[in-house]
Structure formats: C-alpha cells, structure tokens
Amino acid sequence: MTVCLVHGNPETAAVWNRLAPLLDRGPVVRLSPPGFGAPVPPRFTATVEEYRRWLVTELERFGQPVHLVGHDWGGAHVVNVAMTRPELVHSWVCDVIGLFDQDFRWPDRVQVWATPGAGEEAVAAMIDPPVTERAAALVQKGMHQDVALPVAEGQNAAMGECILRLYRDAAQPTMAELGRNLERAAARPGLSIIATEDSYATDEQRRRASARAGESAELDGLGHWWFTQDPQRGAATINDFWAGVGRE
C-alpha cells in the first residue's frame, strides 16, 4: 500500500531523506505542496482550502486509499483531507494536531508572516541569504544538518509568496473553524505525533485535539523536526502504528 509523505514550511521533499528509507510500508511517494519544492500552478491562491484540494487531486490519482504522513503544514493538509475525503485515506499521521484546537493561537514569530509589510520583510530575511546561511539557520532551529542544505536549496521567492498567502488565510478564526469538525478525522485510523520540544501548540491543546481525532504518541526530547533528529525512533513509532492498522 502506498505511503504518501507531505511536508510543510519552509521545506522541500528532501526533509524526508532520513525517515523515508526506514518506513516499512511502501512504495513511498513524496508529495510536495505547490511552492514548497513544486511549481505553483497558474491562479493558485495558496489558501488552506486550495492546498486541501491540491492534496485531494494528488490522492485521487492512486486509485486506492493510502497511508498519509504529514509534517507541519503538510500535517494540516493531511487532517483536512481526512476530515473531508476519508475514502482516500487508509491511515493518517500528523504532528501538528494542536493547530485545530479551539484555543490555538499562532506563535508571535509566525503571526509576523500574516502581517502586511512585516511579513514580506521576514520572508526576504529567510529567503534572500546565501544557501549555506539558510541551511545554517535551519540547523540552528533544529533540523538535522544532513537534510538542511538540500532543503535550503529549494527555498525561493515562490515559496516566500506562498508562505505569506497561506498564513494570512490561516489567521484565526480559520483554524478554529476547521477544528470544529476534527472528530471526522477519526473515520480513519489516525496518529498524532507529539514531539515534546515542539512549541507550536501547548501540550494541553495537542492532547485535547489528538483525543478527538485518534491515537497519539509522544516523542520525548524531540522538537519540530523530530523525524530528522531521530529518524529511527520516528520510524519505529509510525511503523508500530501501521502494524496495528494492518495492511488491508
């Protein structure tokens, strides 16, 4: 059964390089959201809903349900599909389930992207430096050095524009409204990864949201890029979940 990996911001499919070989289902396909290592189609608006429709279109091509694994915004896209088109999903894994909690608030460093002017400046500061500096910044934030350089090489102006559009569309109450339907994701087996050092949502928000949608597993001591920091532990967690789901 096909495994589809969906990454987030500010990443490309190279972010999965350390995890993908350790997953025990397959084949493994990496789906890159438009602007994040993939071309941006004409008239693509990069809203939360448009990324959901993009992922639906990608999954329909497989002709049968897939195992979906999403990180960061990729995880949000995965849950949005699980809530609305469960027939496309055999199982799902998400590490940002807290975004759908009723009390979630975007961190200040993220809200900057949603602010006109300040957002453009912040994106330029991230995208414009030489690739080695961009890679070093990713490592400093917790991404493993083995994947930081190939990820940084894919960062460009198109990604920056999509970042601005996506976060401006996702400003609250957008995520809270989507989260009202979170129980619908439980129509398919789901696993919420809770990396204890990832601070995008509070522990309470993540646990409350994960209880509404499916199972959860905590990865103590790992941060936002947990699957690059300790791919063996990350893969074991996902593989164990899949063993409970079954192959059919």
175 near 100, Cβ under 8 Å?
Answer: yes
Cβ 8 vs Cβ 74: under 8 Å: yes
> At residue 87, does pLDDT exceed 90?
yes
Instruction: Of 13, 20, 2, 3, give the one whose Cα is nearest residue 159.
Output: 13
Residues constituting the chain = 248
Output the CA–CA distances (angstroms, integers) from residue 183 to 36, 68, 93, 178, 209, in the order listed: 29, 17, 15, 11, 9
Compute the distance between CA of residue 243 and CA of residue 118 in angstroms, rounded to an integer.
46
Q: What would the pLDDT profile of 22-50 be if each residue is shown by its tens digit? A: 999 989 999 999 999 999 999 999 999 99
Q: Report whether pLDDT(94) > 90.
A: yes
- Mean predicted lDDT score pLDDT of the chain: 96
Helical (H) or strand (E) element with 49: helix 48-60
The residues pairing with 185 across neighbouring beta strands, listed in sequence order, are: none
**Band of the pLDDT at 246, cuts 50, 70, 90?**
low
pLDDT at 100 > cutoff 60: yes
pLDDT (average), residues 147-165 = 98
pLDDT single digits (tens) 117-148: 999 999 999 999 999 999 999 999 999 999 99
Q: Give the per-residue pLDDT at 199.
A: 87
Query: Over 70: is that where the pLDDT of 110 sits?
Result: yes
| Two tokens, residue 186 | 């439980």
